[in-house]
Amino acid sequence: MDVYVEKEKCTGCQHCKDVCPVAVFEMHHRDSQDANKDTAPPEHQWKGQTDPAVAQKWKDVQDGHRHFAPDNDGTSGGISVAVNGSACILCQACLIECEGECIVIKDDSGNEYRSIYK
Ligand code: SF4
Ligand code: SF4
């Protein structure tokens, strides 16, 4: 299994890390070199710019998450990095919870699964 985050759409909500039963995700500082330590293709690596539509949707939402905060305080903030994608068991919990609709999972047959947050 391969898992990556389309970084420009990640709000930093930390839902993925909180729900994943096999610790696929880590939250990293947005300015850290580690922000791109997963298999996201070049067009979805973090380059310091959030997708405008995602920013507009979440910037003022007060739900206890520190959306787009540079750092992680243990509850939210920073950016999600799928550091352990090979451990994924395709439970799909993260796909349901991802605010930014930015998690992509590919199984060993090449089938692709994407975030379905509503
Ligand atoms: S689908 Fe995979 S990455 Fe997502 S929560 Fe489940 S095990 Fe973790
Ligand atoms: S659930 Fe989605 S938007 Fe939230 S931190 Fe994880 S990848 Fe980013």
Inform me whether the pLDDT recorded for 117 exceeds 90: no
Spell out the residues 6+ positions from residue 1 whose beta carbon is closer than 8 angstroms to its own: 85, 86, 87, 88, 89, 90, 105, 106, 107, 108
- Ligand nearest the Cα of residue 77 is 2
Complete domains list, the chain, with CATH: 2-114 (3.30.70)
Which CA distances in Å does 19 have to 13, 16, 79?
12, 5, 16
Atom of ligand 2 nearest to the CA of 25: 6
How many Å apart are CA 108 and CA 34, to the nearest integer?
25
Summarised one tens digit per residue, pLDDT across range 44-89 is 999 999 999 999 999 999 999 999 999 999 999 999 999 999 999 9
Q: Does ligand 1 have an atom closer than 6 angstroms to the CB of 27?
A: no
On the CB side of 24, CA atoms within 13 Å amount to 27
- pLDDT-derived band at 21 (thresholds 50, 70, 90) equals very high
**Tokens encoding 90:** 């395709």
Q: Is the CB of 92 under 6 A from ligand 1?
A: yes
